[in-house]
A and B are shown apart, each in its own frame.
Chain A
Amino acid sequence: MHDSILTPQTALMGLINAGRYGRQEGDVGIRISEVKNFSLANITAFKNCREPLEKVIDEYLGLDLPIGPQRIEKNGYALIGHGPDQWLAIGYEENSASIFDKLEKASRDYAAIVDQSDARAIIRLSGPDARKALAKGVSIDLDPSVFHTNCTATTFAAGLWINLWQINDSPAYEISVFRGFGASLASWIKSSAEEFGYINQ
């Protein structure tokens, strides 16, 4: 019998290879990396269940539910508002999936919580020119007066349906797409970043 070994692959394996690319002169404007080994769950609250759901989420993740298109992060977990009574929960540490599993069981009467960890790709984009590179494909206003750290948006970028959020003032952003669109997202971000010079990490 033939022995086969299955090796898990990240969504963007082989697409963001370490090195400096694009413009070679001057400082690098952008850093690009794939967020790996995250856990991600989609949360949709049932009608009039926000309050009890909030209690369970606080108990398991120690986080408040954001109101509107906002992000709240603490202790390696983040909640991202992406629609009315809908959030993405992200665990950046390995093994956060088991917490989401417990959370799902504890909040069955209040919300539908669905694990999408393997269904998404997340790219992190940071550096002084990250905003400019992003603005080339996104039609929302990214000016820090209206879109700043912990703001989130569900929108189109270069024809792809994305979830976008800002994680710090450097500025740094994370963009999530369905896994099958990861290669298209990576390709667009790299070509958009070329004129500024970028480093893949």
Chain B
Amino acid sequence: MRITCPHCGNRSLDEFIYLGDATVQRPDPARPDALAAFVDYVYQRENPVGRHRELWYHNAGCHAWLVVTRDVRTHEIFGVEPAKEVSLSEKTTGAAR
């Protein structure tokens, strides 16, 4: 598997570190059900077949966090975006994609 980093270009898998699900969003600690929401946020994960959004870190390259949209069965990659941009656009639109 190779990942095309938006900053560095096409690189081999061993340059990256996998973190996990990029679709979860940190809950507001002030909300009344914060404890339950945090338990979900930290521990509960879907285990989807097919297309998934994941956080990867370009450890050997630019040191940027990336959101990779990948088919977890075939390893086909549909898109790689800087996590910073994804996060900023979520803040302005107020929703995860």
Instruction: Give the interface of A toward B (CB within 8 A).
Output: 68-69, 82-84, 86, 139-141, 146, 153-156, 161
Contact = CB atoms under 8 A, between A and B. Distances in A.
8 contacts: A83-B63, A83-B64, A139-B12, A139-B14, A139-B15, A140-B10, A154-B62, A155-B8
A83 B60 contact: no
Given A69-B8, A140-B9, A154-B8, A83 B14 contact: no
A146 B62 CA distance: 18
B60 A86 contact: no
Interface string B44-69: 00000000000000001111100000
Contacts, number: 43
A140 B61 CA distance: 11
Nearest to B10: A141
Nearest to B82: A84
Contacts of B14: 139, 156
A144 to B, nearest CB: 15
Categorize the interface residue count of chain B. Answer: 10 to 19
A155 B15 CA distance: 7
Contacts of B7: 68-69, 83-84
Contacts of A140: 9-12
A85 to B, nearest CB: 10
Nearest to B84: A84
B15 A156 contact: yes
Contacts of A146: 9
B62 A82 contact: yes
B60 A155 contact: yes
Contacts of A156: 14-15, 60
Nearest to B62: A83
Contacts of A153: 8-9, 61
B8 to A, nearest CB: 6
A86 B63 CA distance: 11
B61 A155 contact: yes
Nearest to A162: B60
B58 to A, nearest CB: 9
A154 B61 contact: yes
A164 to B, nearest CB: 11
A14 B15 CA distance: 32
A155 B12 CA distance: 10
